[in-house]
């Protein structure tokens, strides 16, 4: 099951949209490039098991 979620780029602060594959687990981390500045962000994804609400924190990829 896939859902979309939004995150703010750790570099430029612009809003991005990403697809989340919930079947990959309730806690995930991966690298995704910003759709605006193209710099890599580490996404830390958490999915609430009951409500399926998605939270994303970002960090710099060095």
56: DSSP letter:
E
Tell me if 45 sits within 8 A of 20, measured CB to CB: yes
Predicted local distance difference test score (pLDDT) of residue 61: 80
Share of the chain above pLDDT 90, in %: 89
Query: Residue 44, class by beta-carbon neighbours within 10 Å (0-12 exposed, 13-18 middle, 19+ buried)?
Result: middle
Predicted local distance difference test score (pLDDT) of residue 62: 72
Predicted local distance difference test score (pLDDT) of residue 44: 98
The pLDDT-based confidence of 7 (bands split at 50, 70, 90) is very high
């Amino acid at each position: 099951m896939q859902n979309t979620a939004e995150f703010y780029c750790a570099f430029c602060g612009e809003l991005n949209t990403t697809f989340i594959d919930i079947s990959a687990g309730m806690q995930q981390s991966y690298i995704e490039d910003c759709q605006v500045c193209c710099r890599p962000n580490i996404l830390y994804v958490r999915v609430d098991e009951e409500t399926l609400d998605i939270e994303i924190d970002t960090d710099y990829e060095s």
